[in-house]
Amino acid sequence: MSMMAADWLGSVVTINCGLTLGVYQGEVSSVDGASQTISLRQPYHNGVRCPVPEVTFSAMDIKELKFLDIQNTATKPRSGQGITTKPSLVSAGRNGQSNRTTHSHATTNMFHSSTAPISIPLRGSSNSTGVMIPSQKRNCVRNGGAGGSVRSKDDECFGDRTNKDLDTDFDFEGNLALFDKAAIFSQIDGSSGHKALHHSAPAEQKPQSYRHDENILEGKPVKYKQITVPQHGGKYYCTDSGLVVPTIPYKLHKRLLEAAERCGLSPERRLEMIGVCSSQMALSLLGGPNRLSPKNSHQRPTVVLLCGPHTQGAQGISCGRHLANHEVEVILFLPSFFKMEDSVTSEARLYSRTSGLQVANVRELPVSPVDLVINCLNSHENPLLREQSWYQSAADWANRNRAPVLSIDPPISEQPQTVESKWILSLGLPLPLAENESRLYLCDIGIPKLVYSEVGISYYSPFGCKFVIPLHPV
């Protein structure tokens, strides 16, 4: 070993090996000029004490070498000086990898944090307790004074006690299993958890907890059976909010409409209300704003209306007029009859002013499936219409078309549905319809509350903020 290499022994140096290997600090224990290696004893790697007593580096792995302190103060070289015979030890090659660094023992847990200050104890110096050096700065603390406190703080952060668990991975799953989330939340929601959080409040004064969508103002208990009828239809339904809606027989339903007409709710006004609500439901079934928008005019939905010469048919024609006004392609099937109700004639006249089509023969209806079929073929007053040929041909076309069917105000019948409906829309209060797989909806037709009381019905509106609501069997 040359004389200059011997001067390095005992010096404290910082060796930067790049991002892959990181930064090492320690006391020079040996320098081999022939093999171009340098060894450090008691090394620190990225601010953490290495678990091995000595580390050896090859010149090819060293990016930068800095002297923090030299044992022989008479010949103290500057950073990057003192190596004249082998300059490759100071300026290492760029292609060096981790396999070029020889460790005396296998090292683990490589931390790539080079910003923490490092305190390295120096041997052979009586007035220095340690060296505080950030990896990005060259300032050295060599004197006494505050060195003792700095040494104690550094020992707490980077002492040997932190090295014993470096080879053990933290067991996240095992630690998480120790936390019983359900038990903790039940304790918080229960009286025991409340007492633990509020020692001064007695258990009987524990405030009620509310969800984010609940009203925090205290009110009267909700009465879910708020609609009572003098003649029950035999079935009960409930709304999404839990309100019970009973069915009524058709005779009571007819008396209710007659009472509403005497109070000023004429059939024309009732038809308009039904047309608006049923068309709004149909627009939602067709896709709403996702399907009906100015940017999507090339995919306009097609709806076929099957209507008879009666009040239910007039209701369907009113629905079709509103659908046509909302840029829906509507095709109205209304056969030519010798006698039709005045409401059907007036609604058909209004419909003829829209862009909708009207056909009188089933053969003129589309062969390919349409988006929606609205069934208004049946009549409450004349159930014999289902035996006529035009009715049967229209029902057969609807069942063959494979399009979903919405039936508006179908009558009570013990026979199975002629047209298989996916949705049924009842008016005011539901009728006791036959058991089927159809989804029942209820439409608000604008009957005042006092009109219900005139026919003996104690009424509370189940509609809330809507005009069409779903009903679920109880």
pLDDT digits (tens, 9 = 90+) for 30-67: 888 888 889 999 899 988 888 888 989 888 888 888 88
Whether 137 has a pLDDT exceeding 60, the answer reads: no
pLDDT of residue 31: 87
d(CA 409, CA 425) in angstroms, rounded, equals: 6
- Residue tagged 């609807």 (tokens): 398
Whether 152 has a pLDDT exceeding 70, the answer reads: no
- Which CATH fold topology does 236-473 show? Rossmann fold (3.40.50)
H helical segments located in 352-468: 389-401, 449-454
Q: How many CA atoms lie within 13 A of 243 on its CB side?
A: 16
Whether 118 has a pLDDT exceeding 90, the answer reads: no
pLDDT of residue 212: 72
- Name the nearest CA neighbour of 25 among 38, 36, 12: 12
pLDDT digits (tens, 9 = 90+) for 440-465: 999 999 999 999 999 999 999 999 99
d(CA 357, CA 370) in angstroms, rounded, equals: 14
- Most confident range (mean pLDDT) of 8-12, 138-142, 461-465 is 461-465
* Paired residues of 469 in beta bridges: 442
31: helix, strand or coil: strand
pLDDT of residue 215: 65
Higher pLDDT, 151 or 44: 44
CATH number for the domain running over 3-162: 2.30.30.100
Whether 131 has a pLDDT exceeding 50, the answer reads: no
**Choice among 128-137, 268-277, 382-391, 414-423 with the minimum mean pLDDT:** 128-137
Instruction: Name the band, by pLDDT with cuts 50, 70 and 90, for residue 390.
Output: very high
- Residue tagged 């307790």 (tokens): 129
Average pLDDT, integer, range 197-224: 61
d(CA 25, CA 176) in angstroms, rounded, equals: 37
Residue 360: which residues within 8 A CB-CB, separation 6 or more?
333, 334, 335, 336
Q: Is 244 left (phi over 0), alpha (psi -120 to 50) or beta?
A: beta
End-to-end CA distance of the chain, in Å?
98
pLDDT of residue 105: 36
- Tell me the pLDDT of the chain averaged across its residues: 78
Whether 296 has a pLDDT exceeding 80, the answer reads: no
Average pLDDT, integer, range 189-203: 49
d(CA 449, CA 451) in angstroms, rounded, equals: 5
Q: What is the pTM of this model?
A: 0.56
One DSSP character per residue, 67-119 reads EEE-S-GGG-PPTT-S--S-GGGTS--TT--GGGPPBSS----------S-EE
CB neighbours of residue 352 within 10 Å? 11
One-letter amino acid identity for 402? R
163, burial (CB in 10 Å: exposed 0-12, middle 13-18, buried 19+): middle
List, by residue range, all CATH 2.30.30.100 domains of the chain.
3-162
81, burial (CB in 10 Å: exposed 0-12, middle 13-18, buried 19+): exposed
| H/E element, 308 | none
pLDDT digits (tens, 9 = 90+) for 63-108: 888 887 554 444 444 444 433 333 334 333 334 333 334 333 333 3
pLDDT of residue 166: 57
Higher pLDDT, 51 or 330: 330
List, by residue range, all CATH 3.40.50.10260 domains of the chain.
236-473
pLDDT of residue 219: 63
